[in-house]
A and B are shown apart, each in its own frame.
Chain A
Amino acid sequence: MTLSLKKDHKLADLFLQAKPESAGPKFFSDLKSKARLVLEEVGFPTVKAEEYKYTNISKKIADSIENPGSPSPISNLEKVEALRDLLDSIDGYQIITNNGIPEEALSDSPEGLFGLHHFTDLDASAIQEIGQIEKPENDAFSALNTFSFSQGLRIDIPDGKILKKPLVMVHYVRADENGACVYPRIFINAGKNSQASVIELTVFLNDETVFVNSVSEWAVAENAHIRHYKLQDGNKNTLEVHNTGANIHKDATLTSVVLSLEAGMIRNNLSIDLNASNCEGNMYGLYLLNGKTHVDNHTNVDHTQPHSQSNELYKGILADHSRGVFNGKIFVRQIAQKTNAFQQNNNILLSEDATVNTKPQLEIWADDVKCSHGCTTGQLDEEALFYMRARGMSKESARALLLYAFAGEVLEKISIEPFKKYCEKLVHERLGGSY
């Protein structure tokens, strides 16, 4: 058994050739060299690699992405109508990326509320933080993003700033003759005592096969409270790998809600380091899959200091030939006494051909902690279904109402009303039935 069996080097070579190292600040060329090294040495994971054993996204990319380059910026983005109603109803600060590149002209940057900077414009100290939370060596796709992104965006929320309106980050994606691979790269720094919500949306402008590979890093300072919502509602040809890393400091909270409704294949890696006492990480997810859609959520929360808390709830409804993967790692270090860590993954399979692979992974070195985990995979509750039908409700309505109730537990974690309504509507439409 050799290492090479577990790794796909050919694909790595393809990507390395597609994007020669670009010039730029020395810090970036160093970071990118490091990323190149990771790709050259370890390549992309195959199903032989433990972390990717159920999600053969390397092969999927190799098979379906013909051009590993990146598309040029899309023109006339301001005229795109997709999501217009949603964006109007949310009334947030829009931050736009155009095929992965931050689009300054179309982004809101209201004076005094938050800072918006291209990576290449950062000063020496701000630049040093990039790539330190989500390191290229963590994951081959993290390395690929680091190697391949041509511009990133740093958002700074100043100390004490409470943003009343959410930041709405919209990624516009469209493949062209230059390539089909898009690399959004974000760094968000939430200052002490700040508070903000960030909604992340992706608009795929056509149904062509694209590969979106993002990295976002979240530095959440003392007593900052951040909520991050991510809606994944592409089409059957979208391939996505997202690496999200967060550093949480004293008394701070990060809440992540990921809704995966439509895609070809998605891998979400979410990693939260609870680096101080009394901080909190919340990870919620809902995946509603049909056709052959495959969604894999890998989460990792690391309790390194006493008195921190994590809550995790991922729920899935899987129809047709779809597949869901959940892996939840919880680490509780020896000094992290009085940790509370809760994890739950529940799935409903609507078809005999749908599959779920779920794995909780708890490693606890401290002895005075409260940790629990549970996972269930089953069918719709037949007894409940009969009960509802016996009251005159159609089978379709009863089924939809039960599924909606199941999904509702995650949807209710969304605290921005117009966005919540929008997501509820998408889920309603998917589940069908009138109720």
Chain B
Amino acid sequence: MLSIKNLHASVEGTAILNGINLEIKPGEVHAIMGPNGSGKSTLASVLAGREEYEVTAGEVTFKGKDLLDLSPEDRAREGVFLAFQYPVEIPGVSSTNFLRTAVNQVREYRGQEPLDAVKFLSLMKEKMKLVEIDQKLLSRALNEGFSGGEKKKNEIFQMAVLEPTLSILDETDSGLDIDALKVVANGVNQLKSKDNATIVVTHYQRLLDYIVPDYVHVLFNGRIVKSGTKALALELEEKGYDWIKDEVAGTAV
């Protein structure tokens, strides 16, 4: 589904990603872990099409298409979803109006009929249950005045409504208490299917207790330096990241 080959990216001239290689198949959950500054969020941003990052080398294909060639909106329409680490507060834009416009533009791209207000409302109601989000929140301006937990729930709610094939969760666990973490993870798990895939970007192992990955990759200095199973995440939790750094330093010498 997603194939990343030798991806290099920089921001304002500073190289952040230095040759990422990653293959993701339908049905899989991949966790990307790594210390601060290792390039985890950059990878998520580059995949979603954030414009301040410049891809300097490499290629990314998604369902056979050159992903890097697509605008952020077309990536979303093709089925890529980025759950933001810091969801943006947008005063004056109602959540509902925003999401309905987005859904209908996605549907138009896919050659589907737009949803009318009634159908959209019933879709919303169905998906709201999944993340236990209060309908009142959705009648407010997008993310405005939402708590950290509400913002993250809203991300997963939007994901549920947009039904992506590839979901990238960028530090979705940051700032969540245990209850909110469970709700968010539960939502993600329910959305999992054999046809879609998930990338979980996180610093800590705790989210992976709830969203169980098939593969764990450790990112360091913009490269995947180690890949393994869920056991690797537990090892990282126990030993921290220093041994990875040492290992990398060792091989470099």
A contacts, CB < 8 Å to B: 381, 383-384, 386-395, 397-398, 401-402, 404-406, 408-409, 434-435
Of B77, B87, B91, B102, which one neighbours A405 at CB under 8 angstroms? B91
A393 touches B92 (CB 8 A): no
A389 touches B76 (CB 8 A): yes
Q: Does B73 contact A (CB under 8 A)?
A: yes
> Inside 8 A of B50's CB, which chain A residues have their CB?
386
Q: In angstroms, how far is the closest chain A Cβ from the Cβ of B159?
A: 10
Kindly supply a per-residue 1/0 record for chain B positions 77-112, scoring 1 wherever the CB is within 8 Å of any chain A CB and 0 otherwise. 100011010011011110001110111011001000
Residues of chain B from 133 to 158 with CB closer than 8 A to chain A in the complex: 141, 158
Q: Could you show 22 A-B contacts with beta carbons less than 8 Å apart?
A: A381-B90, A386-B72, A387-B84, A387-B87, A389-B73, A390-B82, A390-B84, A391-B99, A392-B77, A392-B103, A392-B106, A393-B73, A393-B101, A397-B101, A401-B101, A402-B90, A405-B90, A405-B92, A405-B93, A408-B92, A409-B92, A435-B101
Q: In angstroms, how far is the closest chain A Cβ from the Cβ of B135?
A: 19
> Inside 8 A of B20's CB, which chain A residues have their CB?
none
B82 touches A384 (CB 8 A): no
> Inside 8 A of A393's CB, which chain B residues have their CB?
73, 98, 101-102, 105
Nearest opposing residue in chain A for B80, CB measure: A390
Q: Does B189 contact A (CB under 8 A)?
A: no
> Inside 8 A of B102's CB, which chain A residues have their CB?
388, 391-393
Q: Does B185 contact A (CB under 8 A)?
A: no
A401 touches B98 (CB 8 A): yes
Q: In angstroms, how far is the closest chain A Cβ from the Cβ of B170?
A: 11
Query: How long is the Cα–Cα vector from A319 to B248 in the complex, in angstroms?
Result: 52
Query: How long is the Cα–Cα vector from A292 to B105 in the complex, in angstroms?
Result: 34
B88 touches A384 (CB 8 A): yes
Query: How long is the Cα–Cα vector from A394 to B74 in the complex, in angstroms?
Result: 8
Interface centre among A383, A387, A397, A402 (most CB of B within 10 A): A387
Q: Does B71 contact A (CB under 8 A)?
A: yes
Of A383, A394, A408, which one neighbours B73 at CB under 8 angstroms? A394
Q: Does B49 contact A (CB under 8 A)?
A: yes
> Inside 8 A of B158's CB, which chain A residues have their CB?
391
A391 touches B162 (CB 8 A): yes
Q: In angstroms, how far is the closest chain A Cβ from the Cβ of B244?
A: 30
Kindly supply a per-residue 1/0 record for chain B positions 51-88, scoring 1 wherever the CB is within 8 Å of any chain A CB and 0 otherwise. 10000000000000000000111011100011010011
> Inside 8 A of A394's CB, which chain B residues have their CB?
73, 105
Q: In angstroms, how far is the closest chain B Cβ from the Cβ of A247?
A: 34
B76 touches A390 (CB 8 A): yes
Q: In angstroms, how far is the closest chain B Cβ from the Cβ of A275?
A: 35
Q: Does B29 contact A (CB under 8 A)?
A: no
> Inside 8 A of B93's CB, which chain A residues have their CB?
401-402, 405
Q: Classify the secondary structure of A's interface with B.
A: helix
Q: In angstroms, how far is the closest chain B Cβ from the Cβ of A313?
A: 13
How many pairs, one residue from A and one from B, have CB atoms within 8 Å of each other in the complex?
A: 74
> Inside 8 A of A390's CB, which chain B residues have their CB?
48-49, 72-73, 75-76, 81-82, 84
> Inside 8 A of B72's CB, which chain A residues have their CB?
386, 389-390
Residues of chain B from 177 to 208 with CB closer than 8 A to chain A in the complex: none
List 4 A-B pairs, minimum CB-CB distance, nearest first.
A405-B92, A392-B76, A392-B106, A389-B72
Query: How long is the Cα–Cα vector from A427 to B105 in the complex, in angstroms?
Result: 22
B51 touches A384 (CB 8 A): no
Query: How long is the Cα–Cα vector from A397 to B108 in the complex, in angstroms?
Result: 14
Query: How long is the Cα–Cα vector from A388 to B158 in the complex, in angstroms?
Result: 11
Query: How long is the Cα–Cα vector from A171 to B237 in the complex, in angstroms?
Result: 74
Q: In angstroms, how far is the closest chain B Cβ from the Cβ of A334?
A: 37
> Inside 8 A of A386's CB, which chain B residues have their CB?
50-51, 72
Query: How long is the Cα–Cα vector from A249 to B91 in the complex, in angstroms?
Result: 35
Asked, given contacts A390-B48, A401-B93, A405-B90, whether A395 binds B101 with beta carbons under 8 Å apart, the answer is: no
Query: How long is the Cα–Cα vector from A325 to B139 in the complex, in angstroms?
Result: 35
A435 touches B88 (CB 8 A): no
A395 touches B90 (CB 8 A): no
Query: How long is the Cα–Cα vector from A384 to B77 in the complex, in angstroms?
Result: 18
> Inside 8 A of A401's CB, which chain B residues have their CB?
93, 97-98, 101
A397 touches B71 (CB 8 A): no
Query: How long is the Cα–Cα vector from A397 to B158 in the complex, in angstroms?
Result: 18
Query: How long is the Cα–Cα vector from A406 to B82 in the complex, in angstroms?
Result: 25
B98 touches A388 (CB 8 A): yes
Q: In angstroms, how far is the closest chain B Cβ from the Cβ of A374?
A: 15
Query: How long is the Cα–Cα vector from A405 to B98 in the complex, in angstroms?
Result: 11
Nearest opposing residue in chain A for B82, CB measure: A390
Query: How long is the Cα–Cα vector from A395 to B97 in the complex, in angstroms?
Result: 16
> Inside 8 A of A387's CB, which chain B residues have their CB?
84, 87-88, 90
Asked, given contacts A386-B50, A386-B72, A435-B101, whether A392 binds B162 with beta carbons under 8 Å apart, the answer is: yes
Q: In angstroms, how far is the closest chain B Cβ from the Cβ of A309?
A: 24
> Inside 8 A of B105's CB, which chain A residues have their CB?
392-394, 397
Query: How long is the Cα–Cα vector from A401 to B87 in the complex, in angstroms?
Result: 17
Query: How long is the Cα–Cα vector from A381 to B51 in the complex, in angstroms?
Result: 13
Interface centre among B50, B91, B93, B158 (most CB of A within 10 A): B93
> Inside 8 A of B48's CB, which chain A residues have their CB?
390
Interface centre among A386, A391, A397 (most CB of B within 10 A): A391
Of B73, B75, B92, B98, which one neighbours A406 at CB under 8 angstroms? B92
Of A391, A397, A402, which one neighbours B76 at CB under 8 angstroms? A391
Query: How long is the Cα–Cα vector from A401 to B90 in the complex, in angstroms?
Result: 10
Query: How long is the Cα–Cα vector from A401 to B158 in the complex, in angstroms?
Result: 18
Nearest opposing residue in chain A for B83, CB measure: A390
Interface centre among A384, A389, A391, A392 (most CB of B within 10 A): A392
Query: How long is the Cα–Cα vector from A386 to B103 in the complex, in angstroms?
Result: 16
